[in-house]
Amino acid sequence: MTIQKVGIVGAGQMGNGIAHVFALSGYDVLINDISADSLARAVATITKNLDRQVSKNLISAEQKAEALGRISTTMELTELGPCDLVIEAATEKEAVKQAIFDTLIPHLGKDTILATNTSSISITRLASRTDRPERFIGVHFMNPVPVMQLVEIIRGIATDDATYQATMAVVKSLGKTAASAEDFPAFIVNRILVPMINEAVYTLYEGVGSVDSIDLSMKLGANHPMGPLELADFIGLDTCLAIMNVLHDGLADTKYRPCPLLTKYVEAGWLGRKTGRGFYDYRGETPVPTR
């Protein structure tokens, strides 16, 4: 399978990062979103991140210009039809993803690979509702995409070997490292990471430690580069809660019960960095714990 043109559905944090690495690696990229403002912000973010790479001598100014020249945007989902590979990177809600696939599929070529960047939802179930379960695969990039080395590759029960091998080759061409994961709730990284974050929230909820003391303890006591509550804010508390719900529903084990405090923050709209408040308040010059 020859892959040259890549469609990205969703211009948010993950979508613009995925577009960045594909364009920098020589692929033609078409980003879709329902919001013109989101598309404009995505291109601005990609430009800023490429500038940062130029300033660190990781890429040349010429490479930056060539990458930006390979990126185009559209608000019409159907315009992704001619792409060789389409990666859905929309919000972590199954109904939203399904609606995207329903609209997109009639316009795709018969050999187009359809991928999802879901961090937790069943690849097999998503694939079963499309016309190409054998050419459907999970490609879970880590955040921030231009920096993080790992990509989880998840085959659904029907994903064929040609699709798997083509996807592995694409990931390698991006300079990333692929890890194959079985199609079980939250795969590998989030199966381990998000319950740890949830336990940190329980530790806060039960008064065992403050936001500061919990994050400091894990940074200095476990050599984590970022504390679990700071990391939760970076990921997005709504995403953390969604993954915990997938784990709880999919595995029916009480150890995956979302902490009530995590639910409360999401109900308040305090979702972390993207909304200005989460376990920290980001509206001032420096983040301040909110609890």
119 belongs to an annotated ligand binding site:
yes
11 belongs to an annotated ligand binding site:
yes
10 belongs to an annotated ligand binding site:
yes
State residue 146 phi and psi, 5-degree precision.
-65, -20
63 belongs to an annotated ligand binding site:
no
92 belongs to an annotated ligand binding site:
yes
Pair 73, 11: CB distance under 8 Å = yes
Which tokens sit at 243? Answer: 């993954």
14 belongs to an annotated ligand binding site:
yes
Q: Which residues pair with 255 in a beta bridge?
A: none
53 belongs to an annotated ligand binding site:
no
48 belongs to an annotated ligand binding site:
no
Between 237-251 and 260-268, two packed helices, what is the crossing angle to 10 degrees? 140
Three-state secondary structure call for residue 42: helix
276 belongs to an annotated ligand binding site:
no
196 belongs to an annotated ligand binding site:
no
Three-state SS string across 117-133, please?
CCCCCCHHHHHHCCCCH
Residue located via tokens 């508390």: 237
State residue 36 phi and psi, 5-degree precision.
-65, -35
**Which among 58, 273, 63 has a CA at the least distance from the CA of 146?**
58
Q: At a CB cut-off of 8 Å and minimum separation 6, what does 58 contact?
A: none
255 belongs to an annotated ligand binding site:
no
DSSP labels, 67-124: HHHTEEEES-GGGGTT-SEEEE---S-HHHHHHHHHHHGGGS-TT-EEEE--SSS-HH
Which tokens sit at 96? Answer: 């939203």
Please give the positions annotated as active site.
Answer: 119, 140, 152, 190
The rounded distance, in Å, linking the Cα atoms of 2 and 234 is 35
Binding residues for NAD(+): 10-15, 33, 92, 97, 119, 143, 274
